[in-house]
Structure 1
Amino acid sequence: MTLLITLDALQTLDAIERRHSFAAAAEELHRVPSAVSYTINKLEEDLGVELFDRSRRKAELTAIGRLVLEQGRHILKASQELTALVRQAADGWETELRICIESVLTCDPIYELIEAFQQIQPKTEIRLSEEVLSGSWDALIDGRCDLVIGAEGTAPAPGYAMHSLGHVVFEFAVAGGHPLTELPMPIPASAIQSYPTVIVADSSQRLPTRSAGLLDGRSRIYVPSIEHKIAAQCKGLGVGYLPRHRITRELAQGKLELLSLDAPRPPTEISVAWSRSNTGKGLKWFVEHLKKMEFDPLRGILTQSL
């Protein structure tokens, strides 16, 4: 199919409008004025419309000419962005980098990393997602993300690299004033059976789902994220283990209270994980900087000098 409107014609039209004359546009485009006039005349002939009103002393765009210019500038911008993306990809930088954050973590430290990354590579589009338990590994293996922050356990398949961030401490928490707070510590597992357990549902789509910190409660309430689990337990809807670094404010405000059980939950190791076959410069940058970060069980990930 023959294109009636070419990028060259749009660039010429754009230059004429910005420079307010054919001669000035020719100078900007490094052409002779006759070449600029020919390009516009040819475009008008191909479209069968007049783009300039030549009845006046100074040629001005017609309504249709203005329409072609305004829409054409969107095309020119898209063309420029496509050219930049191609050059970026050829240089090894990803056009898009997908980062999965395990629900047990907060995004605040990652936002700081993204801000630093944008200073050196603003053209790479960052896409964040949240997964739970096996969902993080599932997203990486299934190709839905390039990098996982906070992956639990070992890689369920070969070909993936990992770097440990540290251990998450989980504490058994109940709403302030909950009946369990009246019992002597440590609380036996049998005492919990009268209360629902709040559980974060595994978000895996393909890998076998799993659960962590299950309690022998009479009923269970499934929620989609740690944030929802915290809210549900603050309202007294159920009990369960929560990551210590995520409930500092709720404890200080008395919305939650920590209790000790006769069988405490051990800390959980979390890691950064990525495919060894992924050689993108953006991924490499994030991995290098995440290796300079450590996890504090009370405050979360702390950034080091970038």
Structure 2
Amino acid sequence: MHPAITLDALRAIDAINKTGSFAAAAQSLYKVPSALTYTIKKLEEDIGATLFDRSKQRAVLTPAGKLVLEHGREILHATSKMVDAVSQLESGWEKHIRIARDTIIPSTVLFDVLAEFTQLKQQVDVTVSVEALGGGWDALHSQRADIVIGASGELPKGMFHTYKIAQLTFIFAVPPEHALARVDGPIEAEHLHDFPSIVVADSSQYLPVRNSGLFNSKQVITVNNMDAKVEAQRRGIGVGFLPLHFAQPLIDSGALIQKACAIPRPNQDLYIAWNKRQEGKAFDWFIDKLCQANWQI
């Protein structure tokens, strides 16, 4: 690796790309902005290329910056894996385990499992992240997650183990004051043309993105998690299908009304998934507990 390209510099580039600004990236890395700015400026001088376009409100990677980030993420992943492997070789317990939860999965059960894990008093760091749609498979594929909860859609062949935890049911629901609440009979496709649809964005970074539950509508409003989608539909901002376990409490309270819909929205199987080559005591512990848990879906 070129002596100018340090792990700190690669982490800085990754953080700036994710947060969109030097100031926000510095905060996420617990650094002062001037130190982060110096790190990037020195790297640019040493390799002779500009990594970020600073002329816009949001820091945007240049083509050279994209190339450095792409290879840099591979280096960061490999370094993390190396540190984990050395630690695991000595004790059998990993230094770090990463669990990704699909936004369609409530966090309560996972936090119960995490609380139990902390009682083991093992020095294993745990990172919990959130993915959406194809993002779970993408997280496993890119090795940014060791275990994914709520993976769905077509199952990749050969690479991962899976364990089915639930079958997801979708319903169509609107607030009682919404115009569609007054429609007699099932909601037809033509009823939806005049209303925005609310969709959750796919969080994939490397694999092709997926779309879910789309129909012809006035406009599409994209949010980044299921809680935001439910809230937008509760307010009547837009319409769409909702997972029954998210919608049922609002239906019970009268905040939403379930409506029959002629547009098909099939049930969806949800899985816990992990890489077949993964091993370690913490990993085995989590797989056992997560597969036994009642996910209440």
CA contact 1:174–1:234 (8 Å) conserved in 2 = yes
Q: 2:123 and 2:259 mapped to 1: Cα distance?
A: 48
CA contact 1:89–1:95 (8 Å) conserved in 2 = no
Tell which deviates more after alignment, 192-201 or 121-130.
121-130
Cα distance, 1:252 vs structure 2 = 2.5
* Residue identity in the other structure for 2:291: K
* Residue identity in the other structure for 1:241: F
Cα distance, 1:175 vs structure 2 = 2.1
Identity within the alignment, %: 33
SS in 2 for 1:216: coil
Deviations 1:160-180 (A, max 9, x none): 111111201111121232111
Instruction: Report whether the alignment pairs 1:136 with 2:140.
Output: no
Q: Kindly report the root-mean-square deviation, in angstroms, between the aligned alpha carbons of the 2 structures.
A: 1.8
- 1:163 equivalent in structure 2: 163
Deviations 1:75-120 (A, max 9, x none): xxxxxxxxxx976652211111100000101110001111111222
- 1:31 equivalent in structure 2: none
CA contact 1:166–1:294 (8 Å) conserved in 2 = no
Deviations 1:202-243 (A, max 9, x none): 111111101111122121100011011011111111000111
- 1:270 equivalent in structure 2: 270
- 1:150 equivalent in structure 2: 150
- 2:243 equivalent in structure 1: 243
Q: 2:87 and 2:199 mapped to 1: Cα distance?
A: 47
Report how many aligned residue pairs link the two structures: 213
- 1:116 equivalent in structure 2: 116
Q: 1:206 and 1:86 mapped to 2: Cα distance?
A: 28
Q: 1:265 and 1:153 mapped to 2: Cα distance?
A: 13
Cα distance, 1:123 vs structure 2 = 1.3
SS in 2 for 1:140: helix
Tell which deviates more after alignment, 116-125 or 207-216.
116-125
- 2:202 equivalent in structure 1: 202
Cα distance, 1:251 vs structure 2 = 1.9
- 1:97 equivalent in structure 2: 97
- 1:229 equivalent in structure 2: 229
Instruction: Report whether the alignment pairs 1:286 with 2:286.
Output: yes
Cα distance, 1:290 vs structure 2 = 2.1
* Residue identity in the other structure for 1:250: L
SS in 1 for 2:292: coil
Q: Structure 2: which 5+ runs fail to align? A: 1-84
Q: 1:179 and 1:87 mapped to 2: Cα distance?
A: 60
CA contact 1:187–1:261 (8 Å) conserved in 2 = yes
- 2:212 equivalent in structure 1: 212
* Residue identity in the other structure for 2:94: E
- 2:29 equivalent in structure 1: none
SS in 2 for 1:194: coil
* Residue identity in the other structure for 2:199: I
* Closer, same or farther: CA 184–131 of 1 in aligned 2, 3 Å: same
- 2:126 equivalent in structure 1: 126
CA contact 1:102–1:136 (8 Å) conserved in 2 = yes
Q: Structure 1: which 5+ runs fail to align? A: 1-84, 301-306
Q: 2:100 and 2:265 mapped to 1: Cα distance?
A: 25
Q: 2:88 and 2:135 mapped to 1: Cα distance?
A: 31
* Closer, same or farther: CA 189–87 of 1 in aligned 2, 3 Å: closer
Q: 2:158 and 2:93 mapped to 1: Cα distance?
A: 25
Deviations 1:36-81 (A, max 9, x none): xxxxxxxxxxxxxxxxxxxxxxxxxxxxxxxxxxxxxxxxxxxxxx
Q: 1:201 and 1:167 mapped to 2: Cα distance?
A: 21
* Residue identity in the other structure for 1:128: V
